[in-house]
Structure 1
Amino acid sequence: MQANYLARPVNEAGPGGVADVVRRTGGLQAQTWRGAAYAVRARSTATTLADVTHAQETDRSVVRGWFMRGTLQLVAVEDAGPLLGLLGPKLIKDTERRYGELGLPAGIRARAADVLEEHLLANGPSNRAELAELLVAADLIAEPKGQAVYALIRYAGLLGRLCYGPGETWVAVRDWLGKPFDLAGDVEDLARRYLSAYGPATARDFATWSGLPVPAARRAVEAVATKSFDVDSVELAAVDDLPGCRDVRMLGEFDAYLLGYQNRFQQLPAAIFPGGGMLRPAVIEAGRAIGSWTHADLSVDVFDGRPDLSAELKDLARFAG
């Protein structure tokens, strides 16, 4: 919890504070924009919901796209290219079977990436419906509905050619950021940053978080780890020996803290992890999940302990503005 910055060390307001949180954590899960925003809130004391949007859409110091595990993430702009350079080729390879099922061979995908980027460079932010019609008009897909549209958009994103722009639109990276991504990445640097934000952890944890092959993850962790710990007869690697944190924190859905490991040494109840790829808002205390909560009315279901949530509830109101 301390390593993942849930002791809330960031007190910088505005988009700079948002970028600092994202940079320190190596990226935040962003399947939902709200989830990414409330992950920033849980790790800072002065940022607001509006600051998160400003950092991504105006300041452009953070980028939303497909990175670790091929899922949507919010990452620092300087990290986006190296992450795609390390992870993109494997993520594309791992999706080959699905591309085949959707009738999207390599030639179609390559042409689609060109068509999408050219359109976004010429027209700016475009939504899914607009890009779907474009792909149909280019005779790359048969109809504007179905999963092939998203698969082709994501493919271009994994190549570093497009990313999310305002709201649920996409933009060309070269236009949005003023230059293409530099795809040169170093796996040992990524392992060091992972252990800084998630350690102690195992090489398999790093592989699970990143999407890298286990052998490559293991070599990188062994190269950069400076400390080790034994927990339940499992050897964990780290780069720091931190004092820990016993605070109570209310995390949004899909929070990176609960997704950063293969084994969290705790069982998440159905109230938080109901299955089907969902991860609901959680209450944690001293690192362990003790309850769940809902955004709509801030109601809390605590199933372990009697935490004082007054400070967190007050800060949620502050963050929302």
Structure 2
Amino acid sequence: MADLLDRRALNRALLARQLLLERSPLAPLDAVEHLVGMQSQAPNPPYVGLWTRLTDFAFADLAALVETRAAVRILLMRGTIHLVSARDARALRPLAQTLLDRVVKGFEDVLPEALAAARAHFAERPRSAKELREMLAERWPGHDATELARAVHYALPLVQVPPRGVWGKSGLARHTNLDTWLDGVPGEPGTLDALVLRYLGAFGPATVRDAQRWSGLTGLGAVFDRLAPRLRTFRDADGRTLYDLPDAPRPDPDTPAPVRLVPDFDNLTLSHEDRSRVITEEHRKRVFTVNGIIRPTLLVDGFVHGMWAMDAARGTATVRVMPFAPLPDADAVEAEAGRLLAAAHPAAEHAVVIEPV
């Protein structure tokens, strides 16, 4: 019978893979690739996500990667925007396309022509969603321009370009073709086998359904079956089969886990069907809103213990912590919040507020 991994063992394994058990010396782009991308539905979370995972990370490091096109923001897993390396944009987008194609049904009569027109439209210069809708409405007045634009957006590999996605800057979301943006950057489509192996390296041990939840893809059971001779199997407390890379870290469940501030939309809380390895169902309902917002979370002893928020106004940057239960070490939480403020808003006055339970 496969070895049992209880909730705490799975927690420590996940933290180690996610670079949250101890900060890693990886370069930012290497960390983004190790994590198989970072959800970037909002532009700023990946900055905090890398800060909380890496040693000596400066927010300007990631901004430079985005501005030099070494990292890009593009629709990928679960049909959401992810920050990935240029190489992974080329590797992962074809794999995600089968998921995204589900959105584009219903325009078979005009979609090929609309895609060709949109591709040329974006090649001229980055365009906003409004510009795309206006072009489509003029060319195909008999169709709902908003829905046709949505189909085009999912069918074409489009990159959201700077200044959107650069820390400290803002701008209207504009897109261009992936090939236009990465002209001359080499890359090849990946394989589902490689995707599953990378998922396990960043999120394992995991079930088939966990991998499908993370990716949005279906039918991955056949991939796991094919990879099974290369994998090690475990079982969880409910008897589910967990797959893992044989040599991946699985720390002792009693390994200390430091306080961490995890940003909104982080894949840590999104990438398993059974999320109890990091968050209880009661707390999940407070973190995950009905309109799709995933709030920033506070980790204490490796598990979600509260939420937090950061804002800057009138020369003062503030981190406000909202614990779900009394903090065993409030000083550690305050110190971590102070370090985040120093990295994110070095020129501002800093304040940390821990709200009562």
Shorter-chain TM range is 0.7 to 0.9
Aligned position for 1:206: 211
- Residues 1:285 and 2:300 are matched in the alignment: yes
Aligned residue number for residue 161 of structure 2: 165
Runs of 4+ in 1 over 6 A off after TM superposition: none
Structure 1 residue 250, shift from structure 2 partner:
0.7
Q: Distance in 2 between matches of 1:67 and 1:223?
A: 28
* 1:181/1:142 CA distance change after superposition, 3 Å: farther
Tell me if structure 2 keeps the 8 A contact 1:209–1:261. yes
Counterpart residue type for residue 39 of structure 1? G
Aligned to 1:79: 88
What secondary structure sits across from 2:306 in the alignment? strand
Counterpart-to-counterpart distance in 2, 1:87 and 1:221:
20
TM-score (ref. length: structure 2): 0.77
* AA in 2 matched with 1:50: A
Q: Give the CA deviation at 1:186.
A: 1.4
* Matching residue of 1:45: 55
Q: 1:298 aligns with which of 319, 323, 344?
A: 319
Distance in 2 (alpha carbons) for counterparts of 1:280 and 1:184: 33
5+ unaligned residues in a row in structure 1: which ranges? none
Tell me, yes or no, if the aligned pair for 1:202 and 1:235 is still in contact at 8 Å: yes
| Matched residue SS, 2:25 | coil
TM-score, normalised to structure 1's length? 0.85
Retained in 2: the 8 A contact 1:291–1:304? Answer: yes
Which has more radius of gyration? 2
Aligned-pair distance for 1:117?
A: 1.9
Aligned equivalents of 1:26, 1:234: Cα separation in 2: 24
User: Over residues 240-270 of structure 1, what are the superposed CA-to-partner deviations in whole Å (9 max), with x where a residue is unaligned?
Assistant: 1332551111111111100111111232343
Question: Bigger CA drift: 310-319 or 225-234?
Answer: 225-234
2:40 corresponds to which of 13, 30, 40: 30
**1:188–1:224 CA contact under 8 A, matched in 2:** no
1:40-59 superposed Cα distances (whole Å, 9 cap, x missing partner) = 2222232233332321222x
TM-fit CA distance, 1:223: 4.8
Q: Give, in whole Å, the separation in 2 of the partners of 1:195 and 1:25.
A: 10
Partner of 1:6: 20
Cα pair distance change 1:247/1:174, threshold 3 Å: same
The alpha-carbon deviation at position 281 of structure 1 amounts to 0.7
Correspondence for 2:193: 188
SS of 2:54's equivalent in the other structure is coil
Residue of structure 1 equivalent to 2:70: 61
Contact 2:136/2:148 (<8 A) preserved: no
Q: Secondary structure at the match of 2:127?
A: coil
| 2:100 and 2:154 in contact (8 A); partners too | no
Name the structure 1 match of 2:272. 261
Amino acid paired to 2:299: I
1:313 equivalent to 2:315? Answer no
**Cα pair distance change 1:89/1:181, threshold 3 Å:** farther
Distance in 1 between the 2:208 and 2:154 partners? 27
Identify the residue that residue 103 of structure 2 maps to in structure 1: 95
CA distance in structure 2 between the aligned counterparts of 1:298 and 1:151, rounded to whole angstroms: 39
Deviation at 1:227, TM superposition (A): 4.9
Measured in 2, the distance between the counterparts of 1:202 and 1:213 equals 13
Q: CA deviation at 1:176?
A: 1.2
- Structure 1 pair 141–51 and aligned structure 2 pair: CA distance change class (3 A): farther
Q: Conserved in 1, the CA contact under 8 Å of 2:48 and 2:263? A: yes
Cα gap change, 1:202/1:132 in structure 2, threshold over 3 Å: closer, same or farther? same
**1:241 corresponding residue in structure 2:** 249
Whole-Å separation in 2 of the counterparts to 1:287 and 1:163: 34
Note closer, same or farther for the CA distance 1:304–1:200 as it changes in structure 2 (3 Å cut): farther
Please give the root-mean-square deviation of Cα atoms over the aligned residues, in Å: 2.4
- Deviation string 1:1-46 (CA, Å, 9 cap, x unpaired) is 111112354336xxxx331221110111111012232222222232
Contact 2:103-2:154 within 8 A present in 1 as well: no
Aligned length: 303
Partners of 1:132 and 1:8 in 2: CA distance: 46
Please give the secondary structure, in 1, of the residue aligned with 2:200: helix
Residue pair 1:112, 1:140 contacting (<8 A) in 2 also: no
